[in-house]
Amino acid sequence: MKPAGSRRVSNMNMYNVVKASELKADQFRIHPDTARELGLSKQGDVIVHFGMNSHPAIVNISNKAGNRELHVHEALIAQLAIPTFCRYALVVSGNEVTLGPFIGILMEESRVSRLRDDPCYRPFMRYVHSYDQIGGAIMAFSMTGINGEQARISGYMYNPEERRWLKGVFSYPSAIVKRIRLPEKLEQVLQDAINGNRLFNIPNMNKWQMHKLLLSFPELRQHVPDGTLYKSAAELDHFLNIHPNIYVKPVHGCDGVEIMKLSKKSEGLLAMYRTKEGNNQLLFKTSTEFHQFLRRGSKNTFMLQKELKLISLDERIIDFRLNLVKNQAGEWKGIGLFARYGASGSIISNMSAGGRAKHALKAFREWMRMSSTEAKAYMKQMHVIGLKIVRNLESNGGLYANVGIDFGMDVDRKIWIIEVNTVDPGFSYFELEGKLNNMLYAKRLAGFAEQ
């Protein structure tokens, strides 16, 4: 194989695979112009790769193939398990030809199974909204669809001609967009199956693990609120003696579920929380009573975090969400920074709990009466901190491409890191742009870097 610098990509042109029974079983045919673009100066033996499959083949250069066609014998198509309804780019390195990209989207079975009855199920269609920029084979699957012994996956392949997902059994992809939380052992199994670091948003970290990791980076420590793992009523008493107002957070969880604010009062501990029905309060005489209540009501592990005196608007808590993604060049970019304000009197700002959102620049100017220059300076500060977070996470051995960071600003206008979500942070108003960048980064991992 030639060194990486000799890789030739056909300008990311897309090619249709055409079955050609007149060819020999191990042959494929390309147009002379395509051969020149790829640096294939003569016919001969090559190794063709598709996903994790590969097979020896012979290149046939002929005008019988159209400029945007790849003629392949049915036997070679079957051997490599190539869906013929997709459009592919080609990469050549030495005598190796890669057809792709072949990208897998790993989701919960409950969502993947929806494609059976609704082959245009919107959450998956958003990943292929800009298919012409991505190209290749795009497969949706869940962990239950993987057959490790046969190296096959039952799932759904996107058909760009019909604009719907088709059920089938396919080979392993070259890269995977992971949108679920997986045990470390299963992550390793998937990584091994696709030959290394082509599975991103790993490793998974819960809130407590992330808290400890952020504290280990000196340049971020000043932005991390004081916190501790909650194990006993005695630890709760100790933390409340230091911080009379705290948050009790599940280390596993999202959307503000099971989060409680706990305040030390003369008559006991006042717990505030929010459900679908609205804001709620409970008074506990002792920390032991609260501890027993929490243990009865949840199997989760919790952490304690001091309350920040965050800016608010009409008794609505305000925080900020920054979405960072990697693009096809492998570079981090911010695709959206917006402010969220919670329901009136709520202890959380999540939109799923009645919160609202507004672009950060408008929020700073309208809610805090900042000048445009001042608002942009705070936005830049959040971006700088966000980039420090993702770069430190990756320096610690992680591989990420989709991170949501929640920031708080206290009444003294200091920026705090509230939470870092690396599993499925969502994109809100920037969903199509975010998912396109995820797919383009997966395309890069699959061997089709930006040219």
Q: pTM for the whole thing? A: 0.89
pLDDT reported for residue 344: 67
Q: In whole numbers, what is the pLDDT of the chain averaged over residues?
A: 90
Predicted confidence (pLDDT) per residue in 217-250, tens digit: 999 999 999 999 999 999 999 999 999 999 999 9
Predicted confidence (pLDDT) per residue in 250-292, tens digit: 998 776 678 899 999 999 999 988 777 778 899 999 999 999 9
pLDDT at residue 353 tops 60: no
pLDDT reported for residue 5: 42
pLDDT at residue 1 tops 50: no
Side chain identity, residue 34: T
Predicted confidence (pLDDT) per residue in 41-85, tens digit: 788 899 999 999 999 999 999 999 999 999 999 999 999 999 999
Burial class (CB within 10 angstroms; exposed 0-12, middle 13-18, buried 19+) of 33: middle
pLDDT at residue 3 tops 70: no
Predicted confidence (pLDDT) per residue in 405-414, tens digit: 999 999 999 9
pLDDT at residue 426 tops 80: no
pLDDT at residue 350 tops 80: no
Predicted confidence (pLDDT) per residue in 287-322, tens digit: 999 999 988 877 789 999 999 999 988 878 889 999
pLDDT reported for residue 183: 83
**Is the pLDDT higher at 342 or at 360?**
360
Rounded mean pLDDT of 202-224?
94
Cα pseudo-dihedral 23, 28, 32, 38, rounded to 10: -170
Fold topology of 4-98: Barwin-like endoglucanases (2.40.40)
Q: For the domain with range 226-307, which CATH number is right: 3.30.1490, 3.40.50, 2.30.30, 3.40.140? A: 3.30.1490
Rounded mean pLDDT of 385-394?
96
Residue 11 pLDDT grade (very low, low, confident, very high; cuts 50, 70, 90): very low
What percentage of residues in the chain have a pLDDT greater than 70? 93
Evaluate whether 406 touches 324 at the Cβ level (below 8 Å): no
CA angle 324, 274, 302 (to 5 degrees): 65
Predicted confidence (pLDDT) per residue in 13-26, tens digit: 899 999 999 999 99
Q: Residue count of the chain, please give it.
A: 451
SS (H, E, C) the chain: CCCHHHCEECCCCCEEEEECCCCCCCEEEECHHHHHHHCCCCCEEEEEEECCEEEEEEEEECCCCCCCEEEECHHHHHHHCCCCCCEEEEEEECCEEEEECEEEEECCHHHHCHHHHCCCCHHHHHHHCCHHHHCCEEEEECHHHEECCCCEEEEEEEECCCCEEEEEEECCCCEEEECCCCCHHHHHHHHHHCCCCCEECECCCCHHHHHHHHHCCHHHHCCCCCEEEECCHHHHHHHHHHCCEEEEEECCCCCCCCCEEEEEECCEEEEEEEECCEEEEEEECCHHHHHHHHHHHCCCCEEEEECCCECEECCEEEEEEEEEEECCCCCEEEEEEEEEECCCCCCCCCHHHCCEEEEHHHHHHHHCCCCHHHHHHHHHHHHHHHHHHHHHHHHCCCECCEEEEEEEEECCCCEEEEEEECCCCCCHHHHHHHHHHHHHHHHHHCCCCCC
**Domain coordinates in residue numbering, the chain:** 4-98, 103-200, 210-223+309-451, 226-307
Count of CA atoms in the C-beta half-sphere (13 A) of 291: 12
Backbone torsions φ then ψ of 194, nearest 5 degrees: -115, 25
Distance CA 54, CA 276 (A): 52
Q: Which of 1-10, 133-142, 289-298, 337-346 has the lowest mean pLDDT?
A: 1-10
CATH class label, 210-223+309-451: alpha beta
pLDDT at residue 439 tops 70: yes
Evaluate whether 416 touches 320 at the Cβ level (below 8 Å): no
Residue 9 pLDDT grade (very low, low, confident, very high; cuts 50, 70, 90): low
